[in-house]
Amino acid sequence: MARDSRATPVGDILARYLDRSGLKVRLDRTRVIEEWPQLVGPQIAAVTEPQSVSADGILWVRVATAPWATELGLMAPRILARINATRKGRITSIRWITGAWPPPRP
């Protein structure tokens, strides 16, 4: 059996695996967590903290107060449109969690 002497870059192998396994879409969805401040702006970013994205595309966001959660609930369609504008892994909805702000640090 002859071996191919050309090496395949690990990045190429990983990219193909992510595509075939469906993980690429899930990773694309989770980028919203790091992009959150740019997506929502400084005023909303100051009172929110994205927590996680579920496998079915639900974004969980901690909000400083119940009034803010109500306001953001009304703004959710516009926020979702902005989030999904450049993303293959679509965020299907946002769930607002009110609680201690800022969240306690370990």
What CATH number is associated with residue 79? Answer: 3.30.300.180
Give me the mean pLDDT over the 52-58 stretch.
Answer: 89
DSSP-derived 3-state class of residue 73: helix
Does residue 30 fall inside a structural domain?
yes
What's the pLDDT at 50?
95
Give me the mean pLDDT over the 22-26 stretch.
Answer: 67
Does residue 46 fall inside a structural domain?
yes
Instruction: Find tokens 């790091």 and name the residue.
Output: 34
* Domain that residue 29 falls in: 10-98
Distance (Å, rounded) from C-alpha 95 to C-alpha 54? 11
Instruction: Find tokens 């450049």 and name the residue.
Output: 86
Number of domains in the chain: 1
Does residue 3 fall inside a structural domain?
no
What's the pLDDT at 6?
80
Does residue 31 fall inside a structural domain?
yes
Q: Is the pLDDT of residue 87 over 80?
A: no
- Report pLDDT digits (tens) over 57-71: 899 999 999 999 999
Q: Is the pLDDT of residue 92 over 60?
A: yes
Mutual orientation of helices 66-84 and 23-40 as an angle, nearest 10°? Answer: 120
Q: Are 57 and 90 in contact (CB under 8 A)?
A: yes
